[in-house]
Amino acid sequence: MIWRLAPLIGFVLLAVVLAFGIRLSRDRVPGELPSVLIGKPAPEFTLDGLRDGEGPVSSTQFLGKPWLLNVWASWCAGCRVEHPVIEALARRGDITVVGLNWKDERGDALRWLAQFGDPYRAIATDPDNRVALHYGVYGAPETFVIDARGVIRHKFVGPVTERHVQTILLPLLATLREEAGS
Amino acid sequence: MKHLPGARPGGARSHIPRMALMFIVALFSTLASAAIEPLQFADDGERRRFNALAAELRCLVCQNQSLADSDAPLAKDLRRELHELMRSGRSDEEIKTYLTDRYGEFVLYRPPFDGRTWWLWIAPGVLVVIALAAVALIVRQRRRLAGTDTRALEPKDDEEW
């Protein structure tokens, strides 16, 4: 009797394992890696600014208010996709939007901004991946949410979407406001 | 993994002039050497150590390639970092900790044996034991049957086959 049920039992077990795997991967970008830096202080940096007349950009100058570190490049297609969302976030005003121009050429980056708009408070340049490496960046776009005390609270891998903003970022900003008030 | 310059929908057609084809071939030939970079090693020992480490670390872009195999730009950056860390006198363990502190354990091709990964390590052994037990069981059953009268194996009328 038990031997006759063996194929059925095997099938059910396999189905459960596969269903579990599908559930796990439903809300994830394929190949996405969880960041080990969440809850840790954001690595400090001081880098050259991208734009004409923009002095050095330092991570410490954004302390005191939540800020977004958006890793982008002119060669990155996903950055173009998320750009309207980043611009809308910058317009909200409750979070400082900082750009990290990663592994890019200055001329290309400036042309990209002229074409698609420049929502950034400041843009640091990291052409040789010296700083992004400390943030565990392994592609673009990636976006870090850093709180007023300089601790990394969330990381988006891939383009930030309106859905991410509604379901993750805005609730997180509300939490950060509560923390600051208490 | 990457889009090659010159690749286009429809592919190369026969009416493309021979010069253009040769130009495309020449383009690709530079790609083949792109992974070779001028890292300086003091001696063969240092080179061997570098290669051994790079083979044990995973490229985070092409996730099924090691740092040694991949010519993704990020893998190149990480090889440079690895080289600099070695030059600054850090041990293999310190270098691995440095990288896992930034990229997570995923960067290691060989995960550590701990509370979360123990089942990953013992699963192959357990599966082999289960498989051997199943084979032993079947063999024993067949041997027992072989010793008995085969007429007992013929289907009976009340069986549902």
* A29-88 tens-digit pLDDT: 666 777 889 999 999 999 999 999 999 999 999 999 999 999 999 999 999 999 999 999
For chain A, the first-to-last Cα distance in angstroms comes to 65
Predicted confidence band of residue B120 (pLDDT cuts 50, 70, 90) = confident
At residue A25, the pLDDT reads 72
- Percent pLDDT > 90 in chain B is 29
Fold classification of B35-107 is Helicase, Ruva Protein; domain 3 (1.10.8)
In the predicted structure, residue B4 carries a pLDDT above the cut 60: no
Q: In the CATH hierarchy, which fold is given to the domain comprising A37-181?
A: Glutaredoxin (3.40.30)
Cα distance between residue A162 and residue A85, in whole Å: 6
pLDDT at A5: 87
| Residue of A33, A36, A103 lying closest to B60 (CB–CB) | A33
Euclidean distance between CA atoms B72 and B154, whole angstroms: 64
- Mean pLDDT across the stretch A96-117? 96
The lowest-confidence range among A1-5, A126-130, B70-74 is A1-5
Name the residue ranges covered by the structural domains of chain B: 35-107, 118-153
User: Among B81, B90, B36, which Cα is nearest to B60's?
Assistant: B81
Separation between Cα atoms, residue B119 and residue B114, nearest integer Å: 9
Q: What is the DSSP letter of B95?
A: H
pLDDT of residue A127: 95
The rounded mean pLDDT for chain B is 78
pLDDT at A30: 62
pLDDT average, residue stretch B42-53: 89
B35: pLDDT strictly greater than 50: no
Nearest to A138 by CA among A7, A24, A36: A36
Minimum CA–CA partner of A3 in chain B: B138
Q: Do B102 and A135 touch (CB under 8 A)?
A: yes
Mean pLDDT of B49-56: 90
Instruction: Give the pLDDT of residue A73.
Output: 96
- Tell me the average pLDDT across B90-96: 92
Q: What is the pLDDT of residue B69?
A: 85
A165 φ, ψ to 5°?
-60, -45
Say what the pLDDT of residue B150 is.
Answer: 59
Of B60, B74, B104, the CB nearest to A34: B104
Predicted local distance difference test score (pLDDT) of residue B6: 39
CB atoms A31 and B63 under 8 Å: yes
Minimum-distance CB partner of A136 among B61, B77, B103: B103
A90 near A120, Cβ under 8 Å? Answer: yes
B49 against B27, higher pLDDT: B49
Mean of pLDDT over chain A: 92
Q: Does A103 touch chain B (CB under 8 A)?
A: yes
- Bigger pLDDT: B11 or B141? B141
- B73 to chain A, any CB pair closer than 8 A? The answer is yes
Spatial distance between the Cα atoms of B34 and B113, rounded to a whole number of angstroms:
36
| pLDDT tens profile B123-147 | 999 999 999 999 999 999 888 887 7
Name residue, tokens 């840790």. A40
pLDDT exceeds 60 at position A120? yes
Residue of A nearest to B84 (CA): A130
Distance in angstroms (rounded) separating the CA atoms of residues B81 and A136: 13
Q: Which residues of A touch B73 (CB under 8 A)?
A: 103
Give the domain ranges of chain A: 37-181
Sort out which chain B residues have CB atoms less than 8 A from A129's CB and list them.
74, 77
Identify the weakest region by mean pLDDT among A120-134, A164-178, B106-120, B127-141: B106-120
Better-predicted residue by pLDDT, A3 or A54:
A54
Would an 8 Å CB–CB cutoff place A138 in contact with chain B? yes
